[in-house]
Structure 1
């Protein structure tokens, strides 16, 4: 049975801060646009417990910020379709086809804002224990470990912020850091160091986890001496970076060595009328504020592209 074909001016794929911002600007421009999301609107922001570096909010829950962005987009008239997965794409300057589970779309312009997913911990039995003590979202799974000892692997803001969140539930949080420094914000690191429930293990790498059905201990190795030791804990939360969701687009869009979309300063890719925005884009800093900026620029340039295309320029 063939799918219904829909012609739209702009399709936005992914509903994190970049996608929602693009939807807001597209709605204000009165474009015939649609935002497609294969899960819940909000992206990784929705998994953040507390956000303290977004202008206008001293502190705001990630889910609340995502809800406010979505509400604003809907009030302005944005068309958002949740739980519809993009299955196939064809992208060229002259024709763009996006096939989802429910429809086949023919957009004039496309903004790819699919974001990135957490990298899996590089240990041999990660798959065996994922969801059984290995996790990648403290907000989602942290409450399962009330009164338990848990570990956090990573050295950026995400690792520091999630350690603070986990300290609300766990009896103790051990941060396993392979170097003797962190890449996170100084203010957040200071909070971590001042939290009596958090211990930092500098110069240690996670080698493996063990347990019967669930994680019971972690094996770590000192990165300077090579010495190994066991740590009794009930869970390990990984925050070692992200991987971009670009598998569907790799045959059309230029990507860097890590799979992130290459764009210019206007978010344009190598194909006219196709843009990359947010964490999926090749850039130095990945923050909510930079994602919002990307979504703004992509939507404004896409509007210009659509208008000029109709004029035959």
Structure 2
């Protein structure tokens, strides 16, 4: 790893060039796990942290399902510890936002918004995905205080309470079904009169005695004092409004993977997730790996993201070892 003087910008400022055996874009559980394994393999990784250092866990309060902690821990604390561990074993963390990438050949090159150049013999993409939000009044105010975008993460905190799920696709139906493990009173709210979810999921939903569906209802705002107490709804047919009482509301209208940088350069699926070789983090470009939520639209958990980050680092190390062996003839 080294930093060199690079090109000059329009004002004549010299931009730095940072080189490494393993360049990681993204600093959530996937990126930091890749960094830990990569550093321990002597690859001296560079992590470019991006707009949200630490990923989605930095905006999550209570974390109760990450292995190794008997008590509830805080998401930001967990990411601080992961970063400290990565740095301790030899990772270099750099604050920058990547605005363009060149994956036409090794070394792979990324350009930061300030003009700095990052070059890696391997590239690990761990840019993650963001939950889509409604944008309704009170949504952010009650985030972590009754409003969530992940039933698997937060459903446990609503044991025996009344919860609602907002959405009509597979994610919404799956989250409603999951929440019946904790609640006897689950309501699915959908703005239309039919669901988009797969029929088998719909059949399970309609057959469940603890789930009811409110059709043609759009969320106007989330209401409460200090914590969520209900959701104000507007009938999309009659225009009438009502308040549905709720202790917890789960917004389940999908996720948006952070893959704009890679459009036209890597193969993406119809939802924008990076396509990898099944069971691996390998993309179609040798030496380029994708891990975490940017390639996983099924599980989207911190522990699974960390696992694929480990896989990406191990495969990156093997890729370089094979390449170096072949070069020696």
Q: TM-score, normalised by structure 1?
A: 0.74
1:204 and 2:214 matched = yes
- SS of equivalent to 2:42: coil
- Contact 2:165 2:251 survives alignment (8 Å): no
Cα 1:89–1:192 change in 2 (3 A) is same
1:311 aligns with 2:325: yes
TM-aligned CA distance change 1:42 to 1:185, over 3 Å:
farther
CA contact (8 A) 1:135 1:238 kept: no
TM-score of the pair, normalised by structure 2:
0.71
C-alpha deviation, 1:257, in angstroms:
0.5
Contact 1:49–1:61 at 8 Å: present in 2 too?
A: yes
1:1-313 to 2 correspondences below 5 Å: 1-2=8-9, 3-58=15-70, 59-82=72-95, 84-102=96-114, 103-121=116-134, 126=135, 132-135=137-140, 138-139=143-144, 142=145, 152=147, 156-158=151-153, 160=155, 164=158, 175-177=164-166, 183=175, 189-193=180-184, 200=187, 202-204=212-214, 206-209=217-220, 218-221=232-235, 229-231=241-243, 238-264=251-277, 265-282=279-296, 284-313=298-327
**How many residue pairs were aligned?**
277
Partner Cα distance (1:227, 1:64) in 2: 45
Q: CA 1:72/1:230 → structure 2, altered by over 3 Å: closer, same or farther?
A: same
Distance 1:289 1:137, change over 3 A: farther
Name the SS for the 1:257 alignment partner: coil
Equivalent position SS for 2:232: strand
Change (3 A) 1:184 1:25: farther
Offset of residue 249 of structure 1: 0.5
Runs of 4+, deviation exceeding 6 Å: none
Contact 2:29 2:55 in 1 (8 A): yes
| Unaligned runs of at least 5 residues, structure 1 | 143-149, 166-171
Shift of 1:199: 7.6
- Root-mean-square deviation (Å): 3.7
Q: CA deviation at 1:290?
A: 1.1
The separation in 1 between residues aligned to 2:75 and 2:104, in whole angstroms, is: 36
2:175 alignment partner, SS class? coil
Unaligned ranges ≥5, structure 2: 1-7, 10-14, 189-211, 223-229
Label 1:61 to 1:109 Cα distance change in 2 as closer, same or farther (>3 A).
same
Residues 240-259 of structure 1, C-alpha deviations (whole Å, 9 max, x = no match): 33110000001111111000
